Each structure stands twice: as structure tokens, then as C-alpha cells.
Amino acid sequence: MHTDAIAFIGLGSMGAPMAQNLLSSGMPLTVYNRNAARAEALAAAGARVTASAAQAVSPGGIAVTMVANDAALEAVTLGPNGVADTLGQGGLHISMSTVSPETSRKLAAEHAQRGSLFLSAPVFGRPEAAAAKKLWIVQSGSSQAKVRAKPVLDALGQGIHDFGEDPGSANVVKLSGNFLILSAVEAMAEALALVEKSGIDRSALASFLGQTIFACPIYQNYSQILAKRAYEPAGFKLELGMKDVRLVRDVAEQVTLPMPLADLLHERLLASLAKGRQALDWTGIELVSAEAGGLR
């Protein structure tokens, strides 16, 4: 049994099943979420619930954060009720959110000043993958942090892939992956519009592609969502997709890299937000292509 005191901060659509998996693995777990109602199921399963992030962590223990954005991560780490000061000497913060590499580097430095470790460990996978312990985890940080975090990460995913010691590297990898996923969504949306306007069934194309030349999880899963236009409930909200594309463009600008496809995705997301679609799944950018083609 894992004996470290573990705090899990952030119980959204991804965080809740991840925390449940840690609890089911026999790990002693304390949880905090801004909306306390999200913690009720975990409390019923045996987790301890606290009223603040700081109260959830133990000195020298492990804090796992899975929150929506950079501002939320900084708040639960360095804010008045954040985890950094309580975690202190000998502690470990595993950050699993999709955030900017600069935020991870800043938090790693803040933790180092307090004698604690920081590991960036964002994940690939939607809520159903989180529940099934099928997440792909990318990590970067010190070797000491990786060794201590391994039992926790093993309980959450199907594989851990390492990208060195720079705390921001895993975030760049995560942003790159999300850029590729949304690029595939846009390409599928345009292809589905093409066959639909040609009188061919959208679902037939999606099934064919997923079974043959694009037999991989992204095309298999996302093509079905697109074919059925199953954008509610959202597995990953469109407004969060916009946050990620903004981060991609920020990093690209920092390293002086033109990314014209990222600019197109930003346009699609912005048009979707202008139409009030922020709560739809990010695959809902397909509606922009459909409307442009007179299909809606």
C-alpha cells in the first residue's frame, strides 16, 4: 500500500475519476474542490474532504492538481489557501493540468525555495479514459520527483513517457498533442462535410476511416462524435480548447515559429465562442464548417 499522504485538488470531469482511481488503489486520499458538491461521491467512498487546498495537503506529502487553467493552478499553489507553504520541505507537487510551460517553470522554482519538488505530468485522454485508467501521461522534472511520483502515476494511466528535467517540457508536448488532435478534428469535419454534400452518409465514412487507413484512437473516437454531432455533454469543453490553442500560439511566438494551422483553429474556436458554444465539446468547431457549407 502507498503510505504517502496524498491530496487531490480539482474534481472536474477529469479530476474526479482520477481521484477515484487513487482511492480505489488503496491510497490515503484527501480531496478539495472549489465546488464542494463535486467531492460528495469521493467522500462516500472514503476520501477526506477539506474546505481549502492548503488544508488538504500534509507537510512533506504529495499534492496532485488537476485544474482548468494557469490562473487556477497558481491560485491553488501560491494563493492564500494554496498548497505550496503547507507542503513545504520534502513535499511533492504533481501538476497534471494543461498549462503553459512558463507556469510550470515558475511553480517549480517556488517549490524549490520551500524545499519541495515539482513534477509536470499532463495527460492525454478524455474522462472515460481517466475512469478506465487508460490515460497517457507525459512528465518532466527532476529524477527524484519522478521516482516518488511513479506509484501515483501508475495508478492513473496506461503509460508514462518522459521528456527530461525542464519542468516546462511536458507542457510543450501536451500542447503539441492537443494541437494535433484539434487539427485532426478540423480535417475530419471538412471531410465529413464533403461527403455529406455529395449525398454520402457521414457515419459510413467515419466507420470506414476508423477501421482502415486511420485505425487509431483519435480518428476512431472523434470521427464518431463528429459524425453524430454528439457535442453534449462535453468531454472537453470548447472554451478549454480555446485556452489550449492560445497557449500553443504563445509558445510558438516565444520560439519564433509560424503555425498557420494553429491560426485557423483559433479562428474556428473564436467563431464558435461568438455563437455561444463555449460549453459544447471542442469537436463542436465542426459546426462552423457545416454552416459555411450550407449544411445547417
Query: What CA–CA distances, in Å, run from 227 to 97, 204, 240, 272?
Result: 29, 9, 22, 18
Return the SS3 of 136.
Answer: strand
pLDDT category, 1, cuts 50, 70, 90? Answer: very low
CATH number at residue 108: 3.40.50.720
Indicate if 141 and 270 belong to the same structural domain: no
| Domain end position, chosen among 135, 165, 195 | 165
Residues spanned by the domain of 90: 6-165
Active site residue 174: yes
| Domain end position, chosen among 113, 137, 165 | 165
Indicate the pTM of the whole model. 0.96
pLDDT over 60 (residue 172): yes
CB count in 10 Å sphere of residue 41 = 13
| The CA-based dihedral angle spanning residues 57, 7, 239, 40, taken in that order and rounded to the nearest 10 degrees | -110
pLDDT category, 296, cuts 50, 70, 90? Answer: confident
How far from chain centre, in Å, is Cα 180? Answer: 14
Indicate if 129 and 199 belong to the same structural domain: no
What are the tens digits of pLDDT across the range 79-127?
A: 999 999 999 999 999 999 999 999 999 999 999 999 999 999 999 999 9
| Domain end position, chosen among 165, 188, 220 | 165
Please tell me which residue in 146, 174, 237, 243 is annotated as part of the active site: 174
Of 86, 33, 97, 98, which Cα lies nearest the Cα of 62?
86
